[in-house]
Structures are given as structure tokens and as C-alpha cells.
Structure 1
Amino acid sequence: MSTIDRGCVLPFAAVISASATVSQDHGDHDDGALRATLIYAGQTLVEYQARQAAEAGAGHISIHVSAISAALSRSVDRLTADGINVSLVRSAAELRQTIPPDSDILLIGDGIIAAQSWYAEIARRAAPVLLVVNDRVTEPEFERIDAQHRWAGLARLNFRHMMDTLDTLDVLADWDFQSTLLRHAVQTDPARVIVNDEALFKGEIILVGSQTTADAAERHSLTTGSIPASGFGWVEQYLFVPLVDWAIPALLRRQVPPVPLRTGAFALSATGLVIASFGLTWPALLFFILGLVVDTVAVGMAKSARRREQSGWRDLICPVLALLGLILLGMHGQVNQVSGLFTGLYLAASITIVELSVRTGKALHMRAWMICSLGTALILLLLFRFAGMLDLGFAVTTLFALASVAMIVLARPVADNPQTGIPTKDIHSL
């Protein structure tokens, strides 16, 4: 079995070092506080690290601390509430009891912020392995392991080596957990995964020493990626994405949890449905749009903070309420002169097909202007309503939705022609 394959099969636990204090030379108001309790992505830094480890596949997470504080206890409570198996340990003996037998160990350095791709890279390799950076391009805060490399804050150790090291710590009078464990790991001649210079300059590995550094890292890392770059309508791409990228860092810095936001999004959409039942078009459309925006922000916040947000049917609440609202709006007023009682139903059915294609990834190859998403339909109807042509707006938007369905079907990659062996062209090559 290859090294990578064996690393994928073996279970592993995680150990996070969380005893270092904020450096006294940073001039922050947080001097003396633990690095682990600095705020990052709307939570403590150690909580974010634990969520990354769980996402990488860690079955149990031990946080090694010198003393248990209220902030650390609250972090553990939140992690436990999200279904993450985590515990605080203060000694080698306690740590020995929490590590599952025969499990590799993912060691996470104190104050390290690493891109999730590096967690995945270390997690899929067999122990022992260290993530390192070249000594010539990095800051002195990273711990040097030899003349060429410094430790980048992630390592995978085998169970036997971890137990032997803990036995050694039992007989030492004065020791630093992270440094001692790292030095014992280096003596086993582990494999090394080198963080390239480009990734380092992009901020994929950061050692946080103050709240100022954590804030800077958050602004750099959490401003993009909340919504995929393709596969959505032009309203989502050009209106929702900028709003989301602006709102998420601001809300996370204030430690606003995503759950109340999502509840508010449901309430906005439900209010829009009630208003639509009375035939009040533009207020209902505005509430539906606001509901979609707030729901998108909440989902983006959960993703950025790596929270295990409940999904499934909850993802459909705002869209379903908006689609029901379109059906109700289509049954009122002059719209019935266009296509009768089922005007709203025709539009809602067409949008449903488009939304299902988007949510299942079948529209990833489509350009934004080709997709009549739910947000796009609501904006179009609102514009037609302000122009006094709502009946025409329903007709145009329905045709747009049907055209989107056709383009999604025609543009989907098709297997090679069995007779000629020539790949069928997609819509972009026509």
C-alpha cells in the first residue's frame, strides 16, 4: 500500500497546543492572554483550529493547556454542541488517557492558522511527517528544526512515538510540551511537506502572536469563497457576492453567530409570503430578496467559520417560501390576463428546475447571464413592477427560466460520439 493510501486508511486524533501567551512586544491590549483565546473568524483561535482538525478527519481532539480558563471552557462547549469530540488536558498523563489507542496524532502548533488544504495534505499522509517552510523566506517566529527548515505548525506522529514521548515528559522536571514533542519527532527522521514560497506569501500559513495579527489574517482569508465563482445567476454573482464578502468579515469580528441570522432570513421570507397572499407585489418581492441575501450571508459565515451548520431541508426554506410567493402573486391582479390562473405556478416550476440544476452542480459550466436563478427572477419582477408591467414581467421571466433550462441541457458535457469518437461540442463552442 502506498504512503498516501495508508495515511487515508489509518484513523487519527488531534492534539492542539494552547499554552503560549501573546507576545509582550506587540503592544496589544491583550498582552498576557493566551494565543489560543484570540478571536478569529468569530470564535477563539483554538476553536477554529479544532474545527479544521475535525473537518480533516480527526476522531478526537485534545487541547493541551496550562490552565483551564472560562474562554477555553466556552470554546469546548460550542465544539461539543456541534458534535465535535474534544477535551481539555493539562498534563501528559491526562493526554495519554484521551488519545484513542493505535491512532496517529495530528499535532497543531500554538497560534497557527493554516489553510485547510494543508490540514488535508498532512492528514492523508502516513506518520511521521512534518509541514515545514524554508528557513530563508520565513519569519523568526516559526520554530527552527534544522539549518534548512522551520516547523509550519502541523505534524502527523504515530501512536507509539507519541506514547514514548509522553513517558519521557513524565520524568522531566521542566519541559515545553510543543517543543519537546517536536524535537522528539525530528529525531525519527520524518518525511517533510514543504510549503512553497508562493503559498507562504499568500498567507496560507500564519503564526498569530497578537489580536492585531489575527484581525489582519482574518481580513485576508475570509473575504472570498463564500459563494462559488460559477454556476449561479447574474444577481447572485454581481449583487449577492459583494454584499456577502463585505458582511461576513464584519459580522464575524463582532462574533455574531450564523444561526440567528438564518432564523431572521426565514422570518423575512415568511413575511414576504404573507404579504404576497394579499397581492402586494413589490413589498413581497423585497422581503424575498432580503431573505435570500441574509440566508446567503448566514451560510457563508458558517462556511468561513467552519461551523457544522445544519443543511438539507433548511437550505430550501427561503427558496421554497419565495417560490410559493411567486405562485400567489401570479394569481392576483392583471397577471391573470397573460396566462390565466397558473401564471405564478408556471414561473415557479421553471425556476425550481433551474435551482435544482444549480444546487446539484449541473450549471457550473454556465455563464451567469444564462441562468435565471431565483434571485434573478425576483429582481426582474421587481423592475417590471416598478415599470407598471408586472404581467409582462411574469411572461418574460418565465421565458428566461425556460431558456435557462434549455441551455443547461444543451451545454452539459456529452460523451464522445460512439460512431465518430469525436466529443460533442458544448454551448460555448457553438
Structure 2
Amino acid sequence: MLVGLVFATEDAEDRPDALAATLPFGGATLIEYQARLLAAVGVGHLLVAVSRVTPALLGATSRIASRGVTVDVVRSAEEAAAKVHPLAQVIVVADALVTTDAVIEWIASETHEALLVTRDGDGSVGIERVDNAHSWAGLARVPAARLADVASLPVDYDFQSTLLRQAVAARAVQLLLPPATGRTRHGVERNAAALLRRSKSVLAALGDRRTAWTDRFIFTPITGWTLPHLVARGVPAWAATVAGGAFGFASIILLAMLMPAAGLATSLVGIAALSTGSMLSWLRGEDRLARAQERVIQVISAIAVVLTGVVVTRISGGGTGLVLAMATIACAVLLERTPVPRRRWWATPAAHPLILLPAAIVGHPVVGLGLSALYALASIGAAIEAIREKP
């Protein structure tokens, strides 16, 4: 059982009336972003350690709780220890820490008590020294018993620092944070302006977890560039859904007018909008909308393939194009239902319009349909082999 412990005790440097944890980040607040990352690794119970409670903090914790996470605000290690199951593992997040989902997943996947550390002199920001060569990087995984150890000490001890000391004394495994990550995407920020600058790099990194080649080389770079701008302007996630749907509808019209190149290009614009919107929805805790946007991507891709087959059939008078299109869709549906981890080269719904577009541009969409069908068939074949290897 994983429990999150987020510290929200320090004031913002440029806003003394506000806690650093409640500074704007990612269209919400920093603590909501931290809670979002923790929820993504399976944390269903969040402890928020505070020295004072502000209206902004109450609002943030209420929004976190509305997304299905149990939230308890605690003022001491004794309160925290009383709220946690004795066998729970606690993911500790330092006050005002900005990080990425990949780093959170790393610390959460550890099976032993662990501390994330930085090496002195590598340019990464350390919070507190743990030995003569390393400093704490703001994340830890500790057993619930460690909270009880801190609770047994004098109450005037700093909760966060003492918890770190107890983990070091227990010989927690030290995980070294890569220097490049620490310089750009990981660190403590209590200044609103500095937090905004760092957020652009962190938000751009959110799409890095998508491993398919279509995402890695096409849609993730687009998301990385557009997402910080959308967040900075407060664009709602549903706006991306509307934009994606509009481009998808326009692609249908263009394909119906026997303009396959223009139609496929327009469908890809719609898919890019929905891909960015899905990430924006995830960031703001709108999981249902994010899943809906991913499904719309599948629908637009399927319609683009089928209508391209219809276009080829109408132009040539034969049924080859439509047969190839239906074969592609059948293989794609089966691939989506196979219970195996996706490999980078496997087909995704968005890959098929990408394959069709160059062939349509040069005037041979039937070639694109043939390549798309072969690609889908090779992907489902590889998935079946993977199931056979690991039944």
C-alpha cells in the first residue's frame, strides 16, 4: 500500500501571504501537480504536512480529494503516524518540489527504503546534505514505521528534516538523480516567476512517457511545444477536444470530396490537437476527458483509413482499396485488445494516417493502404508471438 506525504509548510519567496505549495503550476497549483504524480503511481491516500492552513491550501486539497484521493492534513509526525497503516510504504515529497512522472515512478518502484540524492557539484539543487558527497533531492520512500520514529522525538524538531535524518540512519538506499534532470526538470522552487520558467521544461517532459514511435517523433514534440503555452493561457482541456473534432469533421468532408491528401493531413492536425488535449486533461485531473480524447483519436484514424479506401474504390472502380482498409482496421482492433506491453515500433491508431499521407500526396493512396495493412498485420503478429512467449 502506497501513501503520499507532501510537505506544504514554507511561504513563497515573492508572496509571503501564500504557501509555496499553492503557487500556480500546470493550470492548477503545485501541490495538485504533486498529488497528480503520486496518484499516477497508485497512491490513494495523501498526507499533507502543514504549519498553517490557508484558503488556497484548503481549496487545493478539496480538489485533490474530489479526484478520488483521500487527503488528510496533518501538523506533526505524531498525527501523520496515526493516519497511516503500519504496513504502508510512504512516498515523501519535499516542500515545493517540482519533478516529473518518470522520477516519481522510479522512487515508487523501489522495494527498499530509498532516498533520491544529488552529487555535490553536478549543478543539481540539493535540499539537505545526507553525507560528505551527496545531498537529498527531495524524494524518498520510507516505511510507515519511520513516521513513528520521528513522532517519538521532541515535537520542536523539524518534521521534514528529521524524517530525512531517520531514513539516513536506517541506511536507506541512495538513488542518484541524473544531473541533466536536476538542472532542468527537478528541484525546489518557491518563487512564482522561477516556477513558471521551470514549468515549461517539466510540462514538455510529460509526453516523454509515450513510447510509440508516432508519439515519440511526431506528436510528443508537438505536445511539448504547445502544452506550456496552453497552460500559461489557461486554455480549457475541452477546447482541444472541440478543435480535434472540428479538424476530424473537416477531414471527412475533404475525403468525401475525393481529396485524400488534404483529408489525411487535416485528420493528423486533429489527432495532434487531441493528443495535446489528452495530456492537458491528465495534468488537470480530468481522466475521463483524457480517455475520451484518446478514443476520439482512434475514431478519427479509423474513419480516415476507411474513407481513403472508399476514395480508392471510387477512383479505380475496384474493391482493393476498401478491402485493404478493412483489413487494417481489423488488425488494429485486435492489436488494441491484446494484453501485452506495447513495443515502440508497433502500429498505433495514429500511425495509419501518417503512412497513408505520403502515398496520397504522390497520387498513389492504394500503395499507402497496402503498406498500412501490412504494418498492422506485422504488429498483431508480433503481439501474438509475445503472448505465446509469455502465456
Residue 151 (str. 1) matches residue 98 (str. 2) = no
Contact 2:308 2:365 (C-alpha < 8 Å) held by counterparts: no
Alpha-carbon distance in 1 for matches of 2:103, 2:205: 18
Give 1:248 deviation, angstroms.
1.6
The question of whether the paired residues in 2 share the 8 Å contact of 1:319 and 1:374 is answered with: no
SS of the residue 1:165 aligns to: helix
> In the superposition, relative to structure 1, how do residues 224 and 17 fare at CA in structure 2: closer, same or farther (>3 Å)?
closer
Report the TM-score when normalising by structure 2.
0.77
Aligned mates of 1:367, 1:12 — CA distance in 2: 34
Q: Which residue of the other structure, out of 187, 194, 219, is the alignment partner of 1:206? A: 187
Distance 1:111 1:22 in 2: 9
Query: Does 1:66 pair with 2:51?
Result: yes
2 CA distance for matches of 1:403 and 1:278? 25
Identity of aligned residues (%): 24
Equivalent residue for 2:84, pick from 71, 75, 99? 99
2:40 matched to which residue of 1?
Answer: 55
C-alpha separation in 2, matches of 1:239 and 1:251: 19
Structure 2: distance between partners of 1:228 and 1:53 = 15
User: SS of 1:223's equivalent?
Assistant: helix
Measure, in 2, the Cα distance between the counterparts of 1:193 and 1:363. Answer: 31
> Is the aligned partner of 1:396 residue 2:374?
no
Task: Work out whether 1:195 is the aligned partner of 2:184.
Answer: no
Asked whether the equivalents of residues 354 and 373 of structure 1 are also in contact (C-alpha less than 8 Å), the reply is no
Relative to 1, partners in 2 of residues 1:46 and 1:355: Cα closer, same or farther, differing over 3 Å? same
Query: How many residues get paired?
Result: 380
Q: 1-side partners of 2:342 and 2:76: how far apart?
A: 51
Instruction: Identify which of 9, 31, 44 aligns with 2:29.
Output: 44
Residues 1:182 and 2:164 aligned together: yes
Q: TM-score, normalised by structure 1?
A: 0.71
**C-alpha separation in 1, matches of 2:211 and 2:124:** 37
Larger radius of gyration: 1
**Distance in structure 1 (CA, Å) of the matches to 2:207 and 2:334:** 19
Considering only aligned residues, what root-mean-square deviation do their CA atoms show, in Å?
4.1
Partner residue in 2 for 1:345: 322
The CA deviation at 1:14 is 1.6
Amino acid paired to 2:344: L
Are the structure 2 counterparts of residues 83 and 374 from structure 1 closer, same or farther at C-alpha, using a change threshold of 3 Å?
farther
Q: 1:375 to 1:76 in 2, by over 3 A?
A: farther
User: CA offsets per residue over residues 371-408 of structure 1, 9 Å max, x none?
Assistant: 96223325654x36xxxx5xxx4423223323434665
Tell me which residue corresponds to 1:309: 287
What is the CA-CA distance between 1:300 and the residue it aligns to? Answer: 3.5
Distance 1:73 1:264, change over 3 A: farther
Partner-residue secondary structure (3-state), 1:20: coil
Aligned amino acid, residue 37 of structure 1: T
Judged with a 3 Å threshold, the aligned counterparts in structure 2 of structure 1 residues 298 and 357 are, in CA distance, closer, same or farther, namely farther
Task: Give the structure 1 partner of residue 7 of structure 2.
Answer: 17
Q: Structure 1 stretches of 5 or more lacking a match?
A: 1-10, 416-430
Q: Structure 1 residues 70 and 350 mapped into 2: Cα distance closer, same or farther (>3 Å)?
A: farther
Counterpart Cα distance in 1 of 2:228 and 2:55: 25
Paired with 2:116 and 2:342, the residues of 1 have a C-alpha distance of 37
Alignment counterpart, residue 237 of structure 2, candidates 258, 273, 280: 258
Shift of 1:162: 1.2
Confirm or deny: 8 A CA contact 1:19 1:110 kept in the other structure: yes
- Describe the SS at the equivalent of 1:291: helix
Equivalent residue for 2:314, pick from 328, 336, 349: 336
> In 2, are the aligned partners of 1:327 and 1:343 still within 8 Å (CA)?
no
- What secondary structure does 1:119 align onto? helix
Query: Is the deviation greater in 223-232 or in 114-123?
Result: 223-232
Alpha-carbon distance in 1 for matches of 2:255, 2:218: 27
**Aligned 8 A contact 2:100 2:205 in 1:** no
> Structure 2, unaligned stretches of length 5 or more?
387-391
Q: What's 2:97 paired with?
A: 112
Distance change >3 Å, CA 127–CA 228, structure 1 → 2: closer
Residue 193 of structure 1: how far off its partner (Å): 0.7
| Alpha carbons 2:87, 2:144 under 8 Å: kept | yes
- Call closer, same or farther: CA 1:380–1:63 in 2, change over 3 Å: farther
What letter matches 2:10 in structure 1? A
Q: 1:247 to 1:137 in 2, by over 3 A?
A: closer
* Gap change, CA 1:372 and 1:338, over 3 Å in 2: farther
| Pair 76,339 (structure 1): closer, same or farther in 2 beyond 3 Å | farther
CA distance in 1, matches of 2:171, 2:378: 52
Give the direction of change, closer, same or farther, for the CA distance of 1:87–1:265 in structure 2 (3 Å limit): farther
- CA gap of 1:321–1:120, structure 2 versus 1, over 3 A, is closer
Instruction: Give the distance between the partners of 1:242 and 1:205, measured in 2 at CA.
Output: 20
Shift of 1:21: 1.4
Deviations 1:221-271 (A, max 9, x none): 3335626787445xx666544422211222233344434423542454246
Match of 1:222 among 175, 187, 203: 203
How many angstroms apart in 2 are the aligned matches of 1:237 and 1:116? Answer: 16
